[in-house]
Structure formats: structure tokens, C-alpha cells
Amino acid sequence: MNDLIHAIDTIPFGEMIVRAECADERAVREILRKEHRDRWDLAVLLSPAANHLLEEVARAAADLTAQRFGRTIRLYAPLYLSNECVNVCTYCGFRRDNDVARSTLNADQIRSEARYLSAQGFRNILLVSGEHPKWVNQDYLCEAVRITRELVPQVAIEVQPLTTPGYEATVKAGADGVVVYQEVYDREHYASYHTHGPKKDYDDRLLAASRAADAGVRRLGIGTLLGLAPWREEILALATHAAHLYRRFGQTEISFSFPRIREAAGAIEPRYQVNDRQLLQMMCALRLVFPDAGIVLSTREAPSLRDGLSRIAVTMMSAGSRTEPGGYEHPDESEKQFEIEDHRTPAEVTAMLASQGIDPVWKDWEEALHG
């Protein structure tokens, strides 16, 4: 059996949650003093006791973030290629049984969206798409990467899981990053939300990041959608996934995202709400266990929360995002994947960062690093 699947399927959740529930403040403080922390420590950092000590935990996390990443935050922008999709993920506005305006950008449209983002200052673009074998196939994706790379040095993709040769082709086309969230690590919940289409295959999705790393992808983004399953277990599983990737692919940079589900047209309401305080707690906990991991924050969160989180553990942010294909040049003509909460322009977001003593970093990549 595959190592990663085995690792995920044998997480001792019961004992870990007991560890978290029994932890007292002394246990939390002891972990804050440690130099290296493991997943049992993570469980304690996700405990009610740690939540109670959140100010102390956040200070430790903020210090560690500053040490490793400096007083900087990297900026990126998503570029939606297509909202065609053959899957039904019941939380998503693009699900195939939703009757919404669909579109797929052609080469000229991709170029003009990328040019728009580049003019705003972005040097790091995330190409996002629904899954559609006809409209968004391997050739299309490679072409999209090539076009975008003509305008910015750093391109990642957030699309359906590809095969290893598929990832190799995108690396060759110029992508250096792959983002593929498991969405829900709990298998039963996973099955209940992913009802039709290739995305029903949990294992294939779980192994996608490993295939990407095998193919030479340098930056991996993994994550879980908060609101779909109990959050402590989801974060423990995410950490197990990361620990596996760190062990197997030491050369790869890993970043975490855990967006909270937002309402979208024709999608379900989240069943397992996570409040702001818990969101901060899990960010701090992951920072303290994975000092070098990136933590990504999208415009799904509200401005005041984004401003606060950016001082503690976040290393990468989007700004001024549109979540519909063609949305930068032609807003509101297609259906959005979800509603964003932070509508500030990139200039406003960077001004906010500067006012908090954070240097916004637009470019952190060089063509010459493409192997």
C-alpha cells in the first residue's frame, strides 16, 4: 500500500483529540518553549487550552514567521481560466449541475488577463480552472502556462490532478508550482461532498502533490476547505500530508491554505463552522510545527481579519482577486467560483501591509531557476 495513503488512514485521531482535550496551559507553554515540535505537539496547539493562551501562541508564531520569512509577505493573483466542470462538489458554484454562465478563456483572453495583472505589479500568477477533459485538457493548460510565463516569471496551476507526465509537461511549459487541495481529508465526508465526476477518487487526489513533486514541481500548495468536516482532525491530517511530503521531497517548498467555505450560487451551507479565533489558532499551530512552510491567505477572508493575520503567520496573500474567468478585464460576465470578502485593490492591500511594517514582495523568482 502507498505510504501516504497508509499514513493518512492510520492517524491516531482518537488519542490525539484526547491529548488536545486534556492539555492544560502548562502543557501548551512547554510546547512553546520547544525547538522542534511534532504532531502530538500540534494536537496540543489545537487544544482549547491553547485557544485560551492564543495571545502567547500568536507571539511565538509571529516571532518564528519573522525569523524565517522576514517582515515580508509575497503577493500573488489567481487567474481563472475556465469555470467548465464535470464534477459535482456540493460546496462549489461551478458544479456541473449548476446552471450558470460558463466560459473558457482563449489564448488572447489569457494574455490580456495576465497583462492586466502584470501591470498591477503581480509577478506570481496562479492559474485556476474547473475540471473539463474537453475544454481544459493538458495541451490547453500548457499553452496557458506558456502564455502567462511570457508576462510574469512565476506561474502555478490549481487544476484537476494530473498524471506525472502531465505535471512534467506543465513544468516544461514554465510552471513551478502546483496547488491541489484535498478539500476534505476525512474519507466519509469526502464521499458525501464529491458526488459525481472524477474527483470522487480520493486517493488519486491525495497522491497528486507527490506526482507533481516527482515531476520536478518546486512549490506545492496543499489544503483543506474549512467548514466541511471537524477542523482539528482536518488540520492534523493536513499536517500528516505535509510531513510526508517534507520527508519524501526535501527539495520542495510547501504551503498551506485552509480557506473557509464561502457561499456560492447553488452550493451548500458549511456544516462545521470555524470562527476567526480558531482560524488564527490553526495557523499559529501549523507555523510552530512547520517553521518553513508557507501559509496562504486569499481574499475570501474579510479585510480586518486579513490585516490582523498578516502580522502573525501568513507568508503569501492574494489581492484584488476575481474568481470568474475573464473577470479582471470583464468583471461579472461569468459565474464566480465564490464571493470574495476583501474587495480592496492590490495597491490598497500593499499600503495596508506597509502601514503594518510588512514589505510586500511582488517578485521572488527568476527565470534562471527553472531547471
Partner 1 sequence: MHREDPLIIAGRSFQSRLLLGTGKFASHQQMAEAAEVSGAEIVTMALRRVDPGANQGNILDLLDPEQYLFLPNTSGARNADEAVRLARLARAGGISDWIKLEVTPQPSHLLPDSVETLRATEILVKEGFTVLPYMQADPILAKQLAGAGAATVMPLGAPIGTNRGLQTRDAIALILQEAEIPVIVDAGLGAPSHAAEALEMGADAVLVNTAIATAEDPVAMAKAFRLGCVAGRLAYLAGRPAARASAEASSPLTGFLGES
Residues that bind ligand SF4 (CB under 6 A): 85, 87, 89, 92, 94-95, 130-131, 199
Should residue 350 be labelled a site residue for partner 1 when binding is judged by CB under 8 A? yes
Given partner 1, ligand SF4, none, residue 355, with its beta carbon under 5 to 8 Å by kind, binds none
Q: Taking the complex as a whole, how short is the minimal distance between the CB of residue 97 and ligand SF4, in angstroms?
A: 9
Question: Residue 82 in 3-state DSSP?
Answer: strand
Cell numbers given for 230: 471537524
Separation of alpha carbons 313 and 136, rounded Å: 34
Q: How far apart are the first and last CA of the chain?
A: 32
| Single-letter code of the amino acid located at 196 | H
Q: Taking the complex as a whole, how short is the minimal distance between the CB of residue 100 and ligand SF4, in angstroms?
A: 11
Given ligand SF4, partner 1, none, residue 367, with its beta carbon under 5 to 8 Å by kind, binds partner 1
> What are the b/e assignments for 172-186, b being 16+ CB within 10 Å?
ebbbbbbbbbbbbbb
Using the rule CB under 8 A, which residue among 11, 66, 100, 243 binds partner 1?
A: 66
Find the binding residues for partner 1 in span 319-348 (CB under 8 A): none
| Residue 193: Cβ-neighbour burial (10 angstroms; 0-12, 13-18, 19+) | buried
Given ligand SF4, partner 1, none, residue 71, with its beta carbon under 5 to 8 Å by kind, binds partner 1
Q: Which stretch binds partner 1 (CB under 8 A): 90-98, 178-186, 244-252, 320-328?
A: 244-252
Should residue 156 be labelled a site residue for partner 1 when binding is judged by CB under 8 A? no
Angle between helices 138-151 and 164-173 (to 10 degrees): 30
Given ligand SF4, partner 1, none, residue 1, with its beta carbon under 5 to 8 Å by kind, binds none
Query: Nearest 5 degrees, angle CA 291-CA 224-CA 185?
Result: 110
- The separation between CA 259 and the C-alpha centre of its own chain, rounded to angstroms, equals 7
Should residue 247 be labelled a site residue for partner 1 when binding is judged by CB under 8 A? no
Binding pattern for the stretch 262-291 against partner 1, x by CB under 8 A and - elsewhere: -----------------------------x
